Chains A and B, each alone.
Chain A
Amino acid sequence: MSTLDTLSPMEAGRLPRNAPLFVGVAALAAGALVVVLGGSLVLGAVTAALVFIIALPLWSAVVENRRAAVDRLVTGLVWTAFAVALVPLIWLVWMVLDRGLATINPEFLTYSMRSVIGDEQGGLYHALMGTIVITLIATAISVPVGIFAAIYLIEYGKGTKMSRAITFLVDVMTGIPSIVAGLFAFAMFALILGPTRFGLAGGIALTLLMIPTVVRSTEEMLKLVPDDLREASYALGVPKWRTIAKVVLPTSVAGIVTGVVLAISRVIGETAPLLVAAGFTNNLNTNPVDGSMMTLPVFIFTQFGQATEKGYSYAWGGALVLIVIVMLLNLTARIVGKIFAPKTGR
């Protein structure tokens, strides 16, 4: 009692500052004990987390009060939520690296699966080519359409009925399930040519998924361009289109490129629409208007579907190649964004 009386009211009934650290060490020790006693590593980790989440609030409830204990409980839960979310990410990346690296060799990258039977060496060259062709088609269509639509929304149609309608529809397009986009491309060409699957249809399907992302990011970037720049240009007698082409777009080009690259990295991993619209094949086909075209995601899916050891390892190899491409695109986007960051003077 006497020691408490000598403490200032601010310090009375508080846990020491490094209490979480103490409990953390104790929790780790408890987890280690479980592992030593023969539990699995996961069981140990779960024990440690539980001890940490429960022990600190209990201690707090004894020394401090109920409110402080609840606060510490929530803090523990929030940190745990974040830690748990990291588990699948690390696990997945590790699996893909581990299994993928075991599969990848020069032949795997340069052979197709054409008449590969049994344990013969095959590869994903045809899928890689197909992915490149189809993604290029999708990019070539959706980038101009997306950028001009964004220009319309920001520069020409502000507040008009049509621009409100477009904004709404872009919202709707963002929510289209990817497989429905594939069905659309398939249905459209089926109506004209009968039910066939080919690369261009896959490209159209991806376009539908890519346009909303491009419109959205470009719109955001155009909004960032200060009106002063536009007005200065108008004041010099520059026509509107030249103002857009020479002032507005160059100012925001970094952001637009970043947005486009991110949009590409998003659609390049799409599987379902390509499965439906572009089909699958074991042969190299670079002609987008003739016959099925293989793509990386579909390659992974079909190899997985073989349900053989070889199929699984090829699927992991394909997954590694696909993830590397996606990560490279993401990295490019960030570097472009950093180097050419919009110079708004702020």
Chain B
Amino acid sequence: MTSTVDAPPDASPPEIPELEGKTTVGDRVFRALAVAAGSLIMIALAAVFIFLAIEGAPGFTADEQHYDGKGSFIGLVVPLVFGTTYAAVLALLIAVPFAIGIALFVSHYAPRRVAKPLGFVIDLLAAVPSVVFGLWGGLALGPYIRPLHEWLHNTLGFLPFFDGQPSATGRTLLTASIVLAIMILPIITALCREIFSQTPTLHEEAALALGATRWEMIRYAVFPYARSGMVSAIMLGLGRALGETMAVAMVLSSSPIIVLDIITSDNPRTIAAHIAQNYKETTPEKVAVLIACGLVLFAFTFGVNALARWIVGRGERKQAA
């Protein structure tokens, strides 16, 4: 009721009324809290990297004895990176066809009324804690699919993946990959489902009107539209599989070695499982080595996730253009 009203109307451009009400002390406090929370997230992530780097740095160049008989950090980490990638890729090979099938089932095949509850059932898989999956994989699935190991060895034994002596316990990389696949199935399914159901109805109806069967409609209308989304869903699933610990740590008896065989009892180890299996460690040098391994895993998954998001971004830009 003071200056703005009293001033002559042509003295200065009228102050644009503050849309967001008047600024009070409460406002400043609230704003500060919000900014602080946002900054905390940024600081936290920077802290993750800095603390891991500080504590892990000695791990890159520690004494030979701390590398589990592998001599050097490279000697230890290369087999671990191999094991991590190998297990994750195998899990993807198993999970992706199922995930796409289930996503299509929920978005295009299942009767409308039951589609949503059925999708929810698959989401339930995501709610099961990883340690329970590990328990089930080690005690139930592994022994149960031992005959499958022998069958693979007998029929496909000429391939490098199946030529070793099948394990007697079923606790092999094959079993671990199946468990991993089940664990990443819900996330890939959920993302694919989302993308599939966003396909413009006009495209689908146009395809059907031209006489396409349902499969042809999906192939020529849904898949091209969803391609980048599917790729990024798969990459996110890969990121999840790379960082998953318990399934591999509990199912496998493993060591840092490079082998292609997936049905024997000599199995490659993943980075995460290596850290989990040495969790009792308190010797500073060994801890540093473990943290250095964690840093490698962090960088690895970060790269995969960043790639996934870049693909999504590119897909969105293409559609916007």
Contact = CB atoms under 8 A, between A and B. Distances in A.
A187 B250 CA distance: 24
Contacts of A268: 129
B304 to A, nearest CB: 8
Contact of A85 (B20, B36, B102, B287): B102
A173 B239 CA distance: 12
A74 B215 contact: yes
Interface in A256-304: 265, 268-272, 275-276, 279, 297, 300-301, 304
B1 to A, nearest CB: 13
A183 B294 contact: yes
A67 interface: yes
A285 B272 CA distance: 27
Contact of B34 (A77, A91, A148, A237): A148
Interface residues of A, number: 95
A68 B104 CA distance: 18
Contact of A176 (B21, B38, B298): B298
A92 B54 contact: no
Interface stretch (B120-128, B160-168, B198-206, B257-265): B120-128
B104 A78 contact: yes
A67 to B, nearest CB: 6
B129 A95 contact: no
Given A85-B122, A195-B282, A297 B127 contact: no
A191 B54 contact: yes
A157 B215 CA distance: 45
A192 B33 CA distance: 27
B27 to A, nearest CB: 5
Contacts of B45: 169, 172-173
A285 B273 CA distance: 27
A70 B213 contact: yes
A203 to B, nearest CB: 14
A187 B289 CA distance: 12
- Per DSSP, chain A at the interface is helix
A188 to B, nearest CB: 5
Contacts of A243: 20-21
B105 A78 contact: yes
Contacts of A180: 48, 52, 243, 294, 297-298, 301
B52 A179 contact: no
B110 to A, nearest CB: 8
B136 interface: yes
Interface stretch (A11-19, A20-28, A101-109, A158-166): A158-166
A67 B298 contact: no
Nearest to B31: A156
A67 B213 contact: yes
A316 to B, nearest CB: 7
Given A78-B101, A179-B243, A195 B284 contact: yes
A75 B275 contact: no
B37 A319 contact: no
Nearest to B145: A42
A269 B129 contact: yes
Contact of B98 (A85, A170, A269): A85
Interface string B42-69: 1011011001101110000000000000
Given A172-B305, A188-B51, A239-B21, A92 B133 contact: yes
A22 B298 CA distance: 53
A41 interface: no
Interface string A108-127: 00000000000000000000
A275 B112 CA distance: 44
A165 B272 CA distance: 28
B158 interface: no
B21 A149 contact: no
B287 A95 contact: no
Contacts of A155: 34
Contacts of B125: 85, 88-89
A84 interface: yes
A215 interface: yes
23 contacts: A85-B185, A89-B125, A91-B140, A91-B141, A92-B128, A92-B133, A96-B132, A152-B35, A157-B38, A173-B44, A175-B302, A175-B304, A177-B245, A181-B48, A184-B47, A186-B287, A187-B52, A190-B287, A195-B284, A211-B41, A234-B19, A276-B276, A301-B249
Interface of B: 19-24, 26-27, 29-31, 33-38, 40-42, 44-45, 47-48, 51-52, 54-56, 97-98, 101-102, 104-106, 109-110, 118, 121-122, 124-125, 127-136, 138-141, 182, 185, 213-216, 218, 236, 239, 242-246, 249-250, 272, 275-276, 279, 282, 284, 287, 290-291, 294, 297-298, 301-302, 304-306, 309
CB-CB nearest 7 A-B residue pairs: A177-B243, A269-B129, A81-B101, A148-B37, A241-B30, A152-B34, A71-B213
